[in-house]
Amino acid sequence: MRKQIKKITALAIAMILVVLSVGGVYAQSSKNGVKGQQKTNSQQKTNTQQKINIQFSDVNKNDLPWAYDAIMNLANRGVINGIGNGKYDPNGTVTREQFAKMLVNTLDLTTTDNTQVFADVPSTNAYFSYIEAARKYLTGFRSTNGIMYFYGSNTAVREDMAVALVKALNIQVVPNNGALAQIYQDSSKISANLQDYVYAAYTSGLMLGSSNNFDPQSTLTRAQAAVLLERALNKSEKVVLGDDDGTQKVIVGDYSSTTAILASLSYNGTAVSGFTANTCTYNVVLPFGTTSVPVVAAAAVNTASVTLSVTQAVSLPGTAIVLAVSTDGTSNIYTVNFTVASSSSTDATLKRLTVNGTPVSDFAANTYAYNVQLPAGTTTPPAVAARVNASGAASAVAQAATLPGTAIITVTSADGTSKNYYVINFTVATSSDATLKVLTYNGTLAPGFTSSTYSYYVTLPAGTATPPIVAALENHTGATCKITQAATLPGTAVLVVTAADSTTKNTYVITFTVAP
């Protein structure tokens, strides 16, 4: 096993040296490792050795110069198919379920989980296995009662495909901080919770749009799908390092290892800001005028079973790479990208701070702590976004993970010497709902019951001697209801409902009489 680890380490270091000699191309690819099982040696050889020459009568280079090579390449590799009769239908639309199949074929995604996630995609559906294999990378639709739907026959739109490709290629997603508005005139049409994924697709070169528009809700044509998938395929194929002795392949940038992780990461003795064991790419802005390349150091969580190799940056800007290899054969690569501040500005303040797109109340650049109370019943931590005051300054947002919780925004000045930390503390308001959802006596709904009606009169059949049993259900789960049953007939049952805030109360009364 130790010999195998040495081979893996040697191969990885060799490739890293190649990377550094050709600039940042490989570093970009390495962080985009495909989340999924990669093709085996035999599968890759089959793809390269097959003598297939598929031609489509409706695809030629003159009419489709931007898509021709992608279509023909993927068709001859068996990733995409025509529609029959020798045609590809490049202008035809792609449905969501068709794109799921294309994504699975392109990235060779697999799954062993046969659990049905989407209510409208049963195991008998022809696309079931493809959708399940790709479900981590696809958007779904959740109904108000929590049921998930896929709507596979709907046409695929560009913003959904941006999410799929970014997640499948493990491209780092960072807040766009308003950058999309500067890139695309139609940025407001991009769904708010998908904007950072679209920004990642743009910065990685996967999806660019045209004429300063992204067209997020436009349907995806079969030609466009081929181009996008070939870009994804090119990125994924760059990250496979193969051994020549039959040992397991190393997938560079596949950060799924839970053993080959770091406990610390630093440069020149300074801890890398925002370091976590599961984050593998960091950008460090050095102070204005810095000329000496920092020295990176790291420590593994499990020093007994993890071997570390550090390849230092050789110039500025530059990249340092830490390779962590575990004795179980898994590995992670951590990269630290160094740049030098282009300005001497020490301004590390914010111009704008928003929560779910809404400006923070009473925000001021020199106020660093805020308390935001969310509506009662809120369960999902809101998304915080920030915009810096000074050109060249940078902000990084650590979102709140739970509620109540805290979001921390780190602002670094353009010269790299100053930092400020803005904090938003989130709490959830307690409910003032002190109403009932259901009110019954002996299992029968109170006549004319509504949550806002507090008095009821019930006439029981002649001869009734036992007071009915009253029961109730609160509208809000945090509310409580105290019931005082009627003791005699005629008589009255009283229900006092106390809201979750412990102060708001409502009293419901049922008066019982007996018919003569």
CATH architecture designation of domain 350-428: Sandwich (2.60)
Residue spans of the chain under pLDDT 50: 1-51, 236-257
Interval 16-72: pLDDT, tens: 333 333 332 222 223 333 333 333 333 333 343 344 578 889 998 888 888 898 889
Contacts of 83 (CB under 8 A, 6+ apart): 89, 92
**For 503, left (φ over 0), alpha (ψ -120 to 50), or beta?**
alpha
pLDDT at 255: 34
Q: What phi and psi, each to the nearest 5 degrees, are found at residue 99?
A: -70, -35
Structure tokens at 401: 């993970």
Structure tokens at 236: 């994924």
Question: Do 436-514 and 350-428 fall under one CATH topology?
Answer: yes
pLDDT at 459: 95
Q: Residues 417, 403: contact at Cβ < 8 Å? A: no
| C-alpha distance from residue 333 to each of 125, 282, 415 (Å) | 39, 11, 28
Please list the helix, strand and coil fractions of the chain in percent, rounded to the nearest 5, in that order: 20, 30, 50
pLDDT at 13: 36
- Tokens 């509620």 correspond to 403
Interval 113-128: pLDDT, tens: 666 777 788 888 899 8
Helix axes 96-107, 158-168, angle to 10 degrees: 20
Strands, E, within 268-368: which ranges? 270-271, 281-286, 296-300, 306-311, 318-326, 331-340, 350-355, 358-359
Distance of CA 339 to the CA centre of its chain: 27
| C-alpha distance from residue 73 to each of 62, 66, 78, 161, 394 (Å) | 17, 13, 9, 20, 41
Buried-exposed string 130-161: b where 16+ CB fall within 10 A, e elsewhere: bbbbbbebbbeeeeeeeeeebebeebbbbbbb
pLDDT at 9: 42
The per-residue DSSP string of 286-307 comes to EPTT--SPPPEEEEESSTTTEE
pLDDT at 310: 87
SS3 for 333? strand
* Per-domain boundaries in the chain: 21-240, 247-340, 350-428, 436-514
Contacts of 40 (CB under 8 A, 6+ apart): none
Q: Which uninterrupted H or E stretch holds 511?
A: strand 505-514
CA 276 – CA 259 distance, rounded (Å): 14
Within a 10 A sphere around the Cβ of 242, how many other Cβ atoms?
12
CA 260 – CA 447 distance, rounded (Å): 66
The per-residue DSSP string of 445-493 comes to EPTT--TT--EEEEEEPTT--SPPPEEEEESSTT-EEEEE---SSSEEE
- Tokens 């938003």 correspond to 424
Q: What is the DSSP letter of 84?
A: B
Q: Which fold, 436-514?
A: Immunoglobulin-like (2.60.40)
